[in-house]
Chains A and B, each alone.
Chain A
Amino acid sequence: MLGYLFSAAAVVWIGTFVYVVILLQRQRRLRLELEDVKRMLDEIKE
């Protein structure tokens, strides 16, 4: 029982950690895209 419990908890923790990292990377990509669009808008205005 302990071995299974330990493994299940470890899988949940690792999965959650990977999810947080992926979420942060997605946010970074979104930010970069946002900056690109802002730059494009500035160029249009000029």
Chain B
Amino acid sequence: MKKWQWTLVALLGIGMIISQYMDFIASPPEAQMGNVVRIMYFHVASAVVAFTAFGVTALLGLIYLVRKKWIWDQLARVSAEIGVVYTTFVLISGSIWGDAVWNTWWTWDPTLTTTLILWFLYLAYILLRASIADRERAAKVASVYGFIAAIDIPIIHQSVTWWRGIHPNVITAQGFNMPPIMVFTLLFSFLVFLGLYSVILWISTMMAKDRDELSDLRELARNALAKYDERVGS
């Protein structure tokens, strides 16, 4: 591994430790919720990264449709996969918070329901890609589907206003509804989660690129060896 890669991973590790310190030690408990509020730092940060990941999938899918370059499609695919993991995390952390504050693991609140729909939509995106054997066709179909599925993101964001559910609205047009230390902790969590997303997106895309190149080269080597054997045989 190169030196700059280690530096990047070390920085990420330091960010995780600082984030853990900020979430559980530096940040105070909330007046009514107490320590349960600390789940919010993971929950909201995961939600922001999940929405970013799906937004990136939609955008890169469109770029792929225009440019037809394989790398855009791979980035879109990996981003969607990371987005699904983060959405799973959003749903799990939200359920734990809900059990402590609402006294229920799940309720069909508009924000929760639309988030669950988003999870299913991108799970279907992954399954759809896997079900199409032709790589180019899979990329085209997934690009269009990924863009349409992203429509759910602004719906989730607006669901609190449109349908007046019970889900708290932490970030509004007026800013953050919390004290400065909690805002700083939340923003730091965003930063670490986004860093993690970027690093995983980059490594996974590079791996997909190398895997493809390796399979092409193996095919080339096999053909070259077959020709060599033919020549030696004759």
Is B165's CB within 8 Å of the partner chain A? Answer: no
Interface check B166, CB cutoff 8 A = no
Please report whether the interface of chain A is mostly helix, strand, loop or mixed according to DSSP: helix
Contacts A10-B20, A25-B1; is A37 near B210 (CB within 8 Å)? no
B13-57 vs A, CB cutoff 8 Å, 1 = contact: the mask equals: 100110110011000000000111011001000000000000000
Q: A13-B20, A26-B207, A37-B221 are in contact. Are A20 and B200 (CB under 8 A)?
A: yes
Q: Is the CB of A23 within 8 A of B20?
A: no
A residues near B (Cβ < 8 Å) are: 1-2, 5-6, 9-10, 12-13, 16-17, 20-21, 23-28, 30-31, 33-34, 37-38, 40-41, 44-45
- Which positions in B face A, CB cutoff 8 Å? 1, 5, 9, 12-13, 16-17, 19-20, 23-24, 34-36, 38-39, 42, 100, 196, 199-200, 203-204, 206-207, 210-211, 213-214, 217-218, 220-221, 224-225, 228
Please provide the 8 A-B residue pairs with the shortest distance between their CB atoms, ordered closest to farther.
A13-B16, A2-B35, A30-B210, A37-B217, A44-B224, A23-B203, A6-B24, A27-B207
